Structure 1
Amino acid sequence: MSAKSSAGAARSGSGTLRTARHTFALAWRIDPPVVGVVVALSLAQTGAVAATGLSQRRVVDAAQSAGGHPLGALLLAVLIGVAGHVTAAAGNRVRYNYQHDLTDRVDLEVNREILTATASIPTLEHLERPGYLNRLELLRRQTGALAGSCWSLSDTAIDVISAGLSVWLLAGVHPALAVLALLAFPPLWAAERAKRSLAAARAATAEDQRLEDRIHRMFLTPETGKEIYLAGAGAVLDETAHAARTRAVTVVLKARLGAIGWQLTGWVCYAAGFIAALVLTTWLVARDAASLGDLMLVITLGTQLRLQIRGTVSGYSRVAEAGDTTGHYLWLLAYARRQRPTGTHLVPHMPEDGIQVQDVAFTYPGSQEPVLSGVNLTLRPGSTIAVVGANGAGKTTLIKLLSGMYAPTAGRIEVGGVPLDELDTMAWRRRLTGAFQDFVRFQLPVRHTVGIGDPDAMDDREEVARAVHEAGADPIIDRLPDGLDTQLGTVYGGAELSQGQWQRLALARALMRRHPLLLVLDEPTAALDPLAEHELYELFMRQAGADPGRITLLVSHRFSTVRGADHIVVLHGGRVSEQGTHAELLVAGGHYAELYRTQAEAYQEEGSR
């Protein structure tokens, strides 16, 4: 083994031990009495097999002896044997049941930690990196192994100690019988080889597994299901998912078959040694060098030693699997720590300089072409800024950068003269609100579907009612059977809304925060008719004028709705090609004027039909 692989194994082992300690602490926090019972049964289990073997030898030798043995000694031997057998059988079953229950409960906590770590990363860039998503997928699929790592280690330790006692007793019959312990190494070596092969297979197929899972999930949601239905694409997509699944299963199955072959070879070695041990002991009995009780001891312990070694191999395999998952788990925690926001500055209540975008550029992960480059903007408090441009011009990307969802790859964004990455992340998020074209349909009671836009006021019915009213969603609520208490979404037996109604509630959610510093509206009214969109945008502009500390950023493909904005920014090819008021841009006769007139003529032609 190379020095590099030895160092990697040492780090993996250290990480597994650290994770096992952590999961044990979680289990203790969840249910201390049950953990205490499991630990007590585990300690008793270590000597149960040895006690059973000694008891059987004592009873057989007593029966063989012509002089007999005191009844009390025989009863003690029987009681020890019964206690050992009950501990090995019933106690073991009770211990496993408790361990499985604790593992399930710890699994919930581990998943919560994984989701918390992912959510603590301040940007969304990692969610577009295949490498990150693949490792997260592997981790989420193996959290059970991670949650049970402490019990996997303890089970392995029990089997090792129990096997050690068995080997010690066997050596007492004849030193050569201790060789059975050496024959435990081939199965262990085979288990390690199998573990590496399976881990490599899972890592190699992570992307195919993720593809299959995502495609089949598309069949289960109404939004994607309706398009699949109309296009008749179910069979094609299912075939794609099936092909991905087949590739993954083939690679993993091949690794499993190879692992079975190596493990079978290891067990054949042990079986040959056990047969040799029985032959040797029989020869010793024939020469009066050992008793029939010793032969019974060898048969009992030899049989149990096979099970103990198998338990050790199985436990080692589970520990190895947990170790592989631990690598992904510790990687995620370390990644989240590295990405942890370091900003501590408070967000200015009403920054005089507003938000400054200085020579900002951005390229998405895995792409070579920048989406934005050389962008310079000033967003003044109390103003409404509209961002327009063709599809792919970078409008939504600019929104993501301003809201902190992504960090610029070049340049900087300042709020009141303070760089955005130096602001307290949570404080900045509390000063943001917005609505997007791809809004979320929270299938919750209406009051929470809207109220979640400001978690601090989520249960304030008056604030929720205000936001609903400002978004023009009162007619929607009035038609619902239980008003604000109506459960939404058919998944939970609630009321279903139209696309436009869901969008109205999304707008209401964006209006929950009374005095945001930045209100982002990224084509949030695409499901509304032009008149309704115009009315809402007029409302947003009036609110921006009435709130001197608010910056309202509008993105729309309908030029007629943004003409009243205080400032219009035209993006073209990832750069700011023009900016100014509607009148100024028309006079300039540039790209904006061309797009505006083209759209106006199209609306006139449509209206004349």
Structure 2
Amino acid sequence: MSSPSSTLRTARHMFGIAWHSDRASVVVIAALAVPQAVAIAATGLSQRWIVDKAHAADGRFVPGLVIAVALGVIAHTALAAGGRTRDNYQFDVTDRIDLSVNREILAAASTIPTLGHLERAAYLDRLALLRRHTRSLAGSCWALGDTVTAVISGSLSLWLLVGINPLLGILAVLALPPLWAANRAQRRLAEARTATAEDQRLEEQLHRMCIEPDSGKEIYVSGAGPTLDHMADTARLRVVTAVLRARVGAIGWQLLGWLCYAAGYTGGLILTARMVARGEASLGELMLVITLGSRLRSQVHLTVDGISRIADAGHVTGHYLWLREYAQAERSVGTLEAPVALEHGIELRDVEFTYPGAAEPVLDGVDLTLRAGTTVALVGANGAGKTTLVKLLGGMHAPTAGTITVDSIPLRELDIDAWRQQLSGAFQDFVKFQLPLRHTVGIGLLSSLDDEAAVTRALTEAGAMPIVEGLPDGLDTQLGLLYQGHEISHGQWQRLALARALMRRHPLLLVLDEPTAALDPIAEHELYEVFIRQARRERGRITLLVSHRFSTVRNADLIIVLDGGRVTEQGTHEELMAAQGRYAALYATQAVAYQ
């Protein structure tokens, strides 16, 4: 739960979004709030005057009676029609605010240079809660306004009631228990949502796995669907049970609060009826107590509802402000421009990295020199730290200890966005962008998204032109079944991912992290030979090859063997084979298997 000042600050921010989005609608909403605040009091006064004047008229025409009726009609119209109109305007503008807030959230999350918020369960829980309740955040400015309107309306009603008998002011005191109960209920509900955030994500992910084609085929073959569905339902049941328990508790506290008010309202009616019987009050004043007393209950309810919405928005505000502050804190402080060409290369000195919450480092004491104009192969068993090293080179994570320098400049001092503009890469877990083929490839260099010559060149270098030639609309073919497009094989998708990586003509660092796992060994070897030749022609860049197939990287200028997060061997293929170490043993094992 955020502090009241944070909630108010966020509400002002939401109001600012609404004002810039549709000023006319905001003016209408604000204008309609004024009659809403006085309409109930005006209705009560109208009914009081009608009863008193009708009783006094004794069948004669009284002009004041017409005025009282007119006041009642105007007040009722303002309350009914004005309220509905205001609600419609608020609903429309809230949709626009919600859209803007979602854009802010996605922009903040996507501009964070590191990946911590996408790899830690606690951060993912907060992001999921924030995305799920953005509408509460978007409506926080209206919740605040509605609450103020309800308080003014209730205060006017209370003022009129106290004018009849000061004891009726006790109704205001008895309105406090419902307010306190509502606040307690919302706090318990917010705690339940936070506690079950991970179960909510688990349920969503498991059910999504069952309906997506990539994971669906394995689930169908293994027959794991019912088991996963049961796991998802169990997680969902834990969520529903916790939230339901919180809601039931909330209802109990709110019921107790309303019982206190109901007892006070009943006592107020008895008191006023006795005053009428003794001639100390008129029938109109009794009508006023009946009307405003019952309406005061709804006014208190609106106040309670507004406070509940503010509290709910306050809970989401905490996550919203956390994301903005986290994005600001994680934003790169580097300001130096990245070099346009490498003169010396990239150096890692005593680099260590430990994932948050992990007991052991993934990388420990890594010392490497990646010389400009060379092809470097990174090999090792699964879990050796290869992909983590790639993330560090791309600035996705900062080393826990040690330094990474680019041409003697610490990587942390470079503008990380400028550095990434000089990188390119293809990965084993590539994305299948279900777009027209030209954009599926062209997205690798946004400035050339529609440049047919650049896209064709990248496809040719990746050996992917036969894919284009076999499609009905060539480069304009819509890919993937999501939008009723043309589906291609996994290996063909991987070829397109390689072409996407080749859209950038002269990257300083080209990373190929198991990018050909879906291809056969011969095709992979041919592609790697192409990359090695290109790297040697361009002296100002480094090509980093990550592969578990040792035969495909034997021609690299430098082969690095990672084992248990440490560099155990490095050298050329011939040097490593002569050393008869782990590389030689693994190479021989694979060679025998292929033979």
Q: Output the TM-score relative to the length of structure 2.
A: 0.98
1:395-434 alignment runs, 5 A limit: 395-434=386-425
Q: In structure 2, what is the equivalent of residue 4 of structure 1?
A: none
Which of 282, 307, 310 is equivalent to 1:291? Answer: 282
Q: Structure 2 CA distance, aligned partners of 1:23 and 1:488?
A: 39
CA contact under 8 A between 2:53 and 2:64: conserved in structure 1?
A: no
1:571, distance to aligned residue in structure 2 (A) = 0.9
Q: In structure 1, what is the equivalent of residue 543 of structure 2?
A: 552
Which of 512, 520, 531 is equivalent to 1:521? Answer: 512
1:92, distance to aligned residue in structure 2 (A) = 0.6
Q: Structure 2 CA distance, aligned partners of 1:435 and 1:71?
A: 88
1:119-158 alignment runs, 5 A limit: 119-158=110-149
Which of 36, 45, 54 is equivalent to 2:45? Answer: 54
Q: 5+ unaligned residues in a row in structure 2: which ranges?
A: none
> Is 1:281 the counterpart of 2:272 in the alignment?
yes
Q: Matched residues, percent identical?
A: 65
CA contact under 8 A between 1:62 and 1:68: conserved in structure 2?
A: no
Q: Structure 2 CA distance, aligned partners of 1:138 and 1:36?
A: 32
> Is 1:471 the counterpart of 2:466 in the alignment?
no
Write the deviation string for residues 373-432 of structure 1: whole angstroms up to 9, x where unpaired.
Answer: 111111111111011111111111111111111111111110111111110011011001
Q: In structure 2, what is the equivalent of residue 108 of structure 1?
A: 99
Q: Structure 1 CA distance, aligned partners of 2:391 and 2:196?
A: 32
Q: Structure 2 CA distance, aligned partners of 1:81 and 1:125?
A: 61
Q: Structure 2 CA distance, aligned partners of 1:49 and 1:571?
A: 76
1:488, distance to aligned residue in structure 2 (A) = 1.0
Q: In structure 2, what is the equivalent of residue 543 of structure 1?
A: 534
CA contact under 8 A between 1:128 and 1:365: conserved in structure 2?
A: no
Q: In structure 1, what is the equivalent of residue 343 of structure 2?
A: 352
1:62-461 alignment runs, 5 A limit: 62-66=53-57, 71-461=62-452
Letter matched to residue 162 of structure 2: A
Letter matched to residue 458 of structure 2: A
1:18, distance to aligned residue in structure 2 (A) = 0.6
> Is 1:28 the counterpart of 2:12 in the alignment?
no
1:349, distance to aligned residue in structure 2 (A) = 1.7
* SS at structure 2 position matched to 1:490: coil
Write the deviation string for residues 32-79 of structure 1: whole angstroms up to 9, x where unpaired.
Answer: 111111111112210011111111111111101047887543322222
> Is 1:585 the counterpart of 2:576 in the alignment?
yes
Letter matched to residue 531 of structure 2: F
Letter matched to residue 501 of structure 2: A
Q: Structure 2 CA distance, aligned partners of 1:464 and 1:351?
A: 26
Write the deviation string for residues 555-606 of structure 1: whole angstroms up to 9, x where unpaired.
Answer: 11111111111111111121111111111111111111111111111111xx
1:440, distance to aligned residue in structure 2 (A) = 0.3
Q: Structure 2 CA distance, aligned partners of 1:252 and 1:232?
A: 32
Q: Structure 2 CA distance, aligned partners of 1:68 and 1:280?
A: 30
Letter matched to residue 346 of structure 1: E
Q: Structure 2 CA distance, aligned partners of 1:539 and 1:74?
A: 96
> Is 1:572 the counterpart of 2:531 in the alignment?
no
Q: Structure 2 CA distance, aligned partners of 1:163 and 1:362?
A: 60
Write the deviation string for residues 69-102 of structure 1: whole angstroms up to 9, x where unpaired.
Answer: 8754332222221111011111111111221121
1:38-49 alignment runs, 5 A limit: 38-49=29-40
1:148, distance to aligned residue in structure 2 (A) = 0.5
* SS at structure 1 position matched to 2:211: coil
Q: Structure 2 CA distance, aligned partners of 1:423 and 1:600?
A: 43
Letter matched to residue 492 of structure 1: Y
* SS at structure 2 position matched to 1:46: helix
Letter matched to residue 507 of structure 2: P
Q: Structure 1 CA distance, aligned partners of 2:225 and 2:517?
A: 28
CA contact under 8 A between 1:356 and 1:414: conserved in structure 2?
A: yes
> Is 1:534 the counterpart of 2:506 in the alignment?
no
Q: Structure 2 CA distance, aligned partners of 1:358 and 1:227?
A: 43
Write the deviation string for residues 466-499 of structure 1: whole angstroms up to 9, x where unpaired.
Answer: 1111111111111112111111110111111100
Letter matched to residue 540 of structure 1: F
Write the deviation string for residues 217-249 of structure 1: whole angstroms up to 9, x where unpaired.
Answer: 111211111111111001111111111111121
1:161, distance to aligned residue in structure 2 (A) = 0.5
RMSD across aligned positions (CA): 1.3
Q: Structure 1 CA distance, aligned partners of 2:386 and 2:435?
A: 31
Q: In structure 1, what is the equivalent of residue 494 of structure 2?
A: 503
CA contact under 8 A between 1:48 and 1:87: conserved in structure 2?
A: yes
Letter matched to residue 109 of structure 2: T
Q: Structure 2 CA distance, aligned partners of 1:48 and 1:512?
A: 66
CA contact under 8 A between 1:435 and 1:506: conserved in structure 2?
A: yes
Q: Structure 2 CA distance, aligned partners of 1:369 and 1:226?
A: 35
Q: Structure 2 CA distance, aligned partners of 1:28 and 1:154?
A: 14
* SS at structure 2 position matched to 1:360: strand
Letter matched to residue 563 of structure 2: H
Write the deviation string for residues 508-529 of structure 1: whole angstroms up to 9, x where unpaired.
Answer: 0000001100000001001011
Letter matched to residue 410 of structure 1: A
Q: Structure 2 CA distance, aligned partners of 1:392 and 1:308?
A: 62
Q: Assess, with a 3 A threshold, how the Cα gap between structure 1 residues 290 and 353 changes in structure 2: closer, same or farther.
A: same
* SS at structure 1 position matched to 2:3: helix
Letter matched to residue 370 of structure 2: L
* SS at structure 2 position matched to 1:255: helix
1:1-12 alignment runs, 5 A limit: 12=3
CA contact under 8 A between 2:351 and 2:365: conserved in structure 1?
A: yes
Write the deviation string for residues 9-40 of structure 1: whole angstroms up to 9, x where unpaired.
Answer: 8x611111011111111111111111111111
Q: Structure 2 CA distance, aligned partners of 1:110 and 1:228?
A: 36
Q: Structure 2 CA distance, aligned partners of 1:496 and 1:331?
A: 41
CA contact under 8 A between 1:62 and 1:69: conserved in structure 2?
A: no
Q: Structure 1 CA distance, aligned partners of 2:84 and 2:285?
A: 29
Q: Structure 2 CA distance, aligned partners of 1:544 and 1:72?
A: 98
Q: Structure 2 CA distance, aligned partners of 1:28 and 1:484?
A: 44
CA contact under 8 A between 2:53 and 2:62: conserved in structure 1?
A: no
CA contact under 8 A between 1:383 and 1:544: conserved in structure 2?
A: yes
Q: In structure 2, what is the equivalent of residue 607 of structure 1?
A: none
CA contact under 8 A between 2:462 and 2:527: conserved in structure 1?
A: yes
CA contact under 8 A between 2:480 and 2:486: conserved in structure 1?
A: yes
Letter matched to residue 150 of structure 1: C
Q: Structure 1 CA distance, aligned partners of 2:292 and 2:147?
A: 18
The count of residues paired between Structure 1 and Structure 2 equals: 595
Letter matched to residue 265 of structure 1: L
Q: Structure 2 CA distance, aligned partners of 1:72 and 1:579?
A: 104
Write the deviation string for residues 230-276 of structure 1: whole angstroms up to 9, x where unpaired.
Answer: 11001111111111111121111111111101100110111111111
CA contact under 8 A between 2:342 and 2:541: conserved in structure 1?
A: no
1:126, distance to aligned residue in structure 2 (A) = 2.5
